[in-house]
Amino acid sequence: MVQTIDIEVVLNLIIFAMFFTIASTELMAASAIIFKYKESEKKVFKFLIPIWEVTGTFFVFYVVNLEGLMPDVLPLLAYSFISYILILLILYVLRNTLIISAENLWKRKNRIINRRLLYSAYAIVTFVLGAMIVMIYAAFIGGHGLNFNAETFNLISFITFLPDDGFIIGIAILFFGLAAVYYGLDVNPFLPFIVTTMGMLLSGISIFEMGDTNNSTLFIIPIIFTLSIPLLWMFNKTKNIAENKLVFQGLLSISIFFLAYSQYPYLLGKNLLITSVLNNSAMQTQMFYATLIGGAILLVLTYFFFDIYFGNSQNENQEPIAEGEN
Amino acid sequence: MGVIGIGTMVSIINFDRFLMGFTLASHILIVTMSIGFSILISLAEFLAIRWKDPYYEAMARRFTKAFVIFFAVGTASGTVLAVELFALWPSFMVIVGKVDILPFYYEVFAFLLESISLVLYFYYWDFFENRYKHWALSLLVAVGTVMSAVFITLINAWMNTPSGFNIPYYLKTGNLININPIAAVLTPSGFYEDAHVVTATIAAGVFLIGTYLAYSFIKAKTEDGRILYRKGLNIVAIVGLISIALAGISGSVADSLLITLQPLKYAAIELNLNSSTSAAEIIGGVYSSGKILYDISIPNLQSLLAFPLTFGKGTVPGLDQYPQSLWPPLFIHLTFDTMVGGGFLVGLFALYLAWRLLRKKSITTTLPIYGMIISGPLLALVYDSGWVTDEVGRQPWIIYNVMTVQSAANTSPSIIPLGIAIIVFYFLVVPFCFYFAYRILKNDAVETELERARRSKWFKR
């Protein structure tokens, strides 16, 4: 049986899925930049350059929605992760600074600070950011290292619980595998499927072992949807479907949504019942309406974005170029 | 309290205060530039399309490059602030989450509007066949940017005049009942604060850009450069005059409203020791042992400004009506004077520029140019002074008459080393942001951009 879910939580999980999908395009870009920089210049930057500014906005979108959904959880988050949050913020500002500098570098031939160095630094910072976000998420799922009453987080306790590490490493491997598909990198067609399957096995077993899973039957959806991406990419006839950004992101969003849903209604290794910390009904109602109206505006904007993005790709077959490059 | 001593806790609370204030002060500098740019870009592109003028086109492109840099850093620094709010003031954010989270949430959508529109506007500039469609995107960017400011200011207004829940019951029991999120959004001071903050932000941003344009005009080596910067200064003069005039009017109204909404803050910023029916305007001065020293006093002016519709008939509040333990630091009187005095000076300068433009005289002669160079930084000082007046004037409350700063703060000692790291980081990032924007603008020759504009299909028609 699958637990019925509150509509406000559904909206929050949808926003989380959207945020993580967009963020994952950056994580995949980061691995491509580190391992295949030359190819990235042609295939990755085309999509990364217009999208990276939106990722941060979606992060804020998720955080504010979470504040509105479960305000009582905030003190726990603030006290437990204060050090990590502040480091995360510094890295976030650094990430923006690095990529905007890389885009607009005025001396392209500078031997010390050049575009490749800046993009590589951006990629490393993005990796660390991704790992930290997944770490906080994993800590909230499993509760290892988190002391709910003392509002503290013990990193050693977290790390020494192997499924926590397995989850983070598994996610990293999974997106490493998917990167080749998303950006159409020149690799063996079987490789993404093998790597993605490995990542999925590791992260899947880990999340199950983390002890929060309540709707295990839902796992089947992320497994099928996520694996279908590299599977479609293996064959010439279906390769284009997997490389289609909308299809890819759609499948990934649905997978993330159901993966998160599989844990509902618990957090912290079944020690915290989500429904017991939801906001008051008056606020929930207003948040719901605001999400519907704002979501409609967002859908229209997203439609315009993809319309122009694909139109530009087909008409001119060239990447959007930052002004500094001209 | 068992783990850390009271003295340590107070120090951490003061550190929280400082960290938040520092981050805000850095952030608003970047934000003023973003808002100023978003409006000037839209105007410049509209004029470029309407008059088929490649100078305005080149100007819009140049401004957009700088805007993207400020946006990128501003987005990150805004996120830092958002997270700092619940990291440093968790108890405060619990109440906000339950009563007044809606403006934050609305702001996210304004932010999304701004960011997605900006991506399309900047990266796909030449994609649009119909330039008016491209220009419409600049409007969306400006609307998103300004609305972000509107919604965030609503949160601050709610902190000054809390509403949307049963306050007496909360003070008695600590429980929130009768929650009405819409009433919290429509907080009594919301409209007036928004009117003042938004117009003042536009004025500060536009004049700061004016400083860059004036400096560039002096340094320009070609005629094309001088023409471009002169046209830019014309727009700045007009937008600057309108925004600073509106900021002055709305500021005066907002100040008068404090008499009923936050009388203690009013008494502190006006340095009124006693309530009075014919209050003098006190300019300058410091409070010492129950007296005001070194001030200039203009009889009846304060009453006249506070009650203009009744020609000064009314009672202004005084500090003596409140226990001294609740008084905010009285230096806010000086920051208030700085705000009013500086704003008034720049307003006069803007009038002078408008007068010259009306008489079809150039505003690129010595006095207007050097005046413009000074006006930007002066208005930035004015803007920060206004912000300090508002925030410090609410002390010791984080939510006026509901929650003190002390009871809202995160007292975890682990904040301190990382907070210091954030401060150091900002000291690097903010100057970098301004320097980088300047270098990007300087790097691209005006002639190259003009040539590019002239080659565009739209200008060939």
SS3 for A152? strand
Residue-range domain boundaries for chain A? 7-279
pLDDT at position A96, please? Answer: 84
Instruction: Place A314 in a pLDDT band, splitting at 50, 70 and 90.
Output: low
- What percentage of chain A has pLDDT greater than the value 90? 51
Residues B130-178: tens digit of each pLDDT: 888 899 999 999 999 999 999 999 999 999 999 999 999 999 999 999 9
- Where do the H-state alpha helices sit in B124-262? 131-160, 167-173, 181-185, 190-219, 223-261
Cβ neighbours of A64 in B, within 8 Å: 82, 101, 104-105, 107-108
pLDDT at position A324, please? Answer: 43
Q: B82 and chain A: CB distance < 8 Å anywhere?
A: yes
Mean pLDDT taken over chain B:
90
Cβ neighbours of A85 in B, within 8 Å: 83, 87
**Is residue B414 over pLDDT 80?**
no
The answer to whether B230 and B61 have CB atoms below 8 angstroms apart is no
In the stretch 52-71 of chain B, residues with CB closer than 8 A to chain A read: 61, 64-65, 68-69, 71
Residues A180-197: tens digit of each pLDDT: 999 999 999 999 999 999
| Contact call for A100 and B436, based on CB within 8 A | yes
Q: How far apart are CA B231 and CA B225, in angstroms?
A: 10
| Contact call for B422 and A86, based on CB within 8 A | yes
Query: C-alpha distances in angstroms, B296 versus A52, B284, B287, B288, B343?
Result: 54, 6, 13, 16, 19
pLDDT at position B417, please? Answer: 79
- Looking from the CA of A281 toward its CB, the CA atoms found within 13 Å total 1
Q: What is the mean pLDDT of residues B209-230?
A: 93
Mutate to test the interface with A, among B71, B112, B179, B430 (most CBs of A within 10 A): B112
**Is residue A53 over pLDDT 50?**
yes
**Is residue A29 over pLDDT 80?**
yes
Q: How far apart are CA A48 and CA A179, in angstroms?
A: 12
pLDDT at position B342, please? Answer: 96
**Is residue A114 over pLDDT 70?**
yes
**Is residue A317 over pLDDT 80?**
no
- From the CA of B104, how many Å to the nearest CA of chain A? 7
- From the CA of A136, how many Å to the nearest CA of chain B? 14
Residues B314-352: tens digit of each pLDDT: 899 999 999 998 999 999 999 999 999 999 999 999 999
In the stretch 148-187 of chain B, residues with CB closer than 8 A to chain A read: 176, 179-182
Instruction: Place A325 in a pLDDT band, splitting at 50, 70 and 90.
Output: very low
Q: What is the mean pLDDT of residues B188-213?
A: 96
pLDDT at position B131, please? Answer: 86
pLDDT at position B160, please? Answer: 95
Q: What is the mean pLDDT of residues B289-306?
A: 90
| Pick from B76, B96, B418: CB nearest A56 | B76
Helix (H) or strand (E) holding B240: helix B223-261
Choice between B112 and A105, residue whose per-residue pLDDT is larger: B112
Q: What is the mean pLDDT of residues A57-76?
A: 86
Interface confidence, given as ipTM, is 0.85
Q: What is the mean pLDDT of residues A161-168?
A: 95
Mutate to test the interface with B, among A86, A152, A300 (most CBs of B within 10 A): A86
Q: What is the mean pLDDT of residues A127-144?
A: 91
Residues B46-72: tens digit of each pLDDT: 999 999 899 999 999 989 988 988 888
pLDDT at position A313, please? Answer: 59
Q: B204 and chain A: CB distance < 8 Å anywhere?
A: no
Q: How far apart are CA A197 and CA A210, in angstroms?
A: 20
Contacts of B258 (CB under 8 A, 6+ apart): B265, B266, B269
| Contact call for A75 and B90, based on CB within 8 A | yes
* Range with top average pLDDT, A135-149, A166-180, B286-300: A166-180
Query: C-alpha distances in angstroms, B15 versus B5, B403, B407, B422?
Result: 15, 18, 14, 12
- From the CA of A151, how many Å to the nearest CA of chain B? 10
Instruction: Place B29 in a pLDDT band, splitting at 50, 70 and 90.
Output: confident
Q: How far apart are CA B329 and CA B326, in angstroms?
A: 9
| Contact call for A71 and B127, based on CB within 8 A | no
**Burial (Cβ within 10 Å: 0-12, 13-18, ≥19) of residue B415:** buried
Q: What is the mean pLDDT of residues B101-116?
A: 92
The answer to whether A46 and A319 have CB atoms below 8 angstroms apart is yes
pLDDT at position B77, please? Answer: 80
Size of interface A-B (CB pairs under 8 A): 218
Residues A222-239: tens digit of each pLDDT: 999 999 999 999 999 999
Q: Would you tell me how many other CB atoms lie within 10 Å of the CB of residue B183?
A: 17
Q: What is the mean pLDDT of residues A55-84?
A: 84
The answer to whether B181 and A283 have CB atoms below 8 angstroms apart is yes
| Contact call for A93 and B73, based on CB within 8 A | yes
What residues are paired with A273 via a beta bridge? A266
Predicted structure pTM score: 0.88
Residues B10-27: tens digit of each pLDDT: 688 888 888 888 888 888
Instruction: Place B9 in a pLDDT band, splitting at 50, 70 and 90.
Output: low
Q: How far apart are CA B68 and CA B436, in angstroms?
A: 11
